[in-house]
Chains A and B, each alone.
Chain A
Amino acid sequence: MTLTETPPARDLEAGFEATIARNERIEPRDWMPEGYRKTLVRQIAQHAHSEIIGMQPEGSWITRAPSLRRKAILLAKVQDEAGHGLYLYSAAETLGVSRLELTELLIAGKQKYSSIFNYPTLSYADVGTIGWLVDGAAICNQVPLCRTSYGPYGRAMIRVCKEESFHQRQGYELLATMMRGTDEQRAMVQESVDRFWWPALMMFGPPDDASPNTAQSMAWGIKRHTNDELRQKFVDMSVPQAEALGVTLPDPELRWNDERGHHDFGQPDWDEFMEGVKGNGPCNAQRMAHRRRAHEDGAWVREAATAYAAKQRAVSA
């Protein structure tokens, strides 16, 4: 291969478009438009940040889990979230950014994470509700991403989705078990669902008419469904699950629409959502401080390992 064989940029772009059109995957060393690459970095990095920040709300109940079995399940789940973050950072790294750079952007507040994790966890039922509703919503978002156009992202998502579906089942099973328990436990479950239902709907983002750039992401095969399509799917999926559980979803407008073949439902408070995105949510400051502290506290350890490895290489050289 020599430089004279280099194809002109127009051919590269046409090749990229053709790969997308054939529904084939773009791989790390393929040519890609800069806008595609940047959109992917933003999406994958912030997805990774969400997994890592998402360890905190549930993680705060590991030390209070009410049975040894629940403690093991919760600890393993939060561990999975660390794993998901790691897989996703790896996928982002194939786009030419490092995990450390992305972590710096997170703790500087320049990149975001999902606002759902800025809500507090206030009872053990929240562990179940997060599994059922929050992970359920995440699955709706993530399953289409297994077929996203960027290969490493799609492959990371396959494993993430597999584990998320277990998390959702575990969460639902915890709530179902609690609903078979005492009156206090049933009240705890209902209260938790009341608090998390609207934030779960917010996870899909603002309505489509407020999302002018969706078209480009969909054309690139990065995004495969609109925010409203995903939200509808989630509501339709959750209603029968709520009935089976015996809890009420806190939306007076929620009802089946025979004509549409879907449920009608109300809109969450988008002002509250935007406050969270801007950093004014109930736990934004706490989550960021926790992450920053853990990262800074670990600096001397990471540095020591780097220094040790360098010394070992010097000895063997």
Chain B
Amino acid sequence: MSELSAEGGHGAVPLKDVPTGEGVTPPEPEWPLYEVFVRGKRGLNHVHVGSLHAADDRMALLHARDVYTRRNEGVSIWVVRADAITASSPDEKDPMFAPSGDKVYRHPTFYDIPDNVPHM
């Protein structure tokens, strides 16, 4: 029996003997990934809140509003294509340059929010 872990979120899911996506060829091109930044109210920085897929910039903005602000009026949203972000590594040991670090980590580093931001 394959082991099942409670940490499937909504319930136990198997964590062994399950493929993880390598070698799966999607039958269609995927919409590009966008990173979403939201300014919750004036005086705050835009902060990274997550990502989404959209065919183009305009669609990404519409989707960001739906997905990450749930129609909350008065917030400012930035979207940027993930592949347009140049990122440093959080660590000097950047896997991009490491011998075994040839995987496709296509995401930019997420930003930690400094302690004082919510209270600016």
Residues of A within 8 A of B (CB): 1, 3, 5-9, 11-12, 15, 27-31, 37-39, 41-43, 45-47, 50-51, 54, 83, 86-88, 90, 93-102, 104-105, 110-117, 134, 137-138, 141-142, 144-145, 151-152, 155-156, 160, 202-206, 210-214, 217, 222-223, 225, 227, 230-231, 274, 277, 299, 302-303, 305-306, 308-309, 312
Contacts and interface: CB of A to CB of B under 8 A. Distances in A.
Contact of A43 (B7, B53, B90, B98): B7
Contacts of A47: 7-10, 13
B12 interface: yes
B16 A213 contact: yes
Nearest to B19: A110
15 contacts: A9-B99, A28-B110, A37-B20, A47-B9, A90-B51, A96-B104, A116-B11, A155-B110, A205-B11, A206-B3, A227-B4, A227-B5, A274-B1, A299-B28, A305-B31
A15 B58 CA distance: 41
A19 to B, nearest CB: 8
B67 interface: yes
Interface residues of B, number: 59
A54 B7 contact: no
B59 A217 contact: no
Contact of B105 (A11, A95, A112, A308): A95
B75 interface: no
Contact of A214 (B5, B67, B93, B110): B5
Contacts of B3: 206, 210-214
A93 B104 CA distance: 10
B13 A112 contact: yes
A160 B98 CA distance: 34
A134 B10 contact: yes
Interface in B53-101: 53, 55-56, 59, 67, 70, 87, 89-91, 93-101
A225 B7 CA distance: 9
B114 to A, nearest CB: 15
Nearest to A141: B6
A98 B14 CA distance: 20
B8 A156 contact: no
B11 A27 contact: no
Interface in B96-120: 96-101, 103-110
Contact of B15 (A203, A217, A309): A217
Task: State the majority secondary structure of interface residues on B.
Answer: loop
Contact of B10 (A1, A51, A86, A277): A51
A235 B6 CA distance: 15
A297 to B, nearest CB: 13
Contacts of A134: 10
A29 B96 contact: yes
A15 B19 contact: no
Contact of A138 (B9, B96, B103): B9
A30 B117 CA distance: 25
Contact of B100 (A27, A31, A213): A31
B43 interface: no
Nearest to A81: B10
Contact of B93 (A7, A210, A312): A7
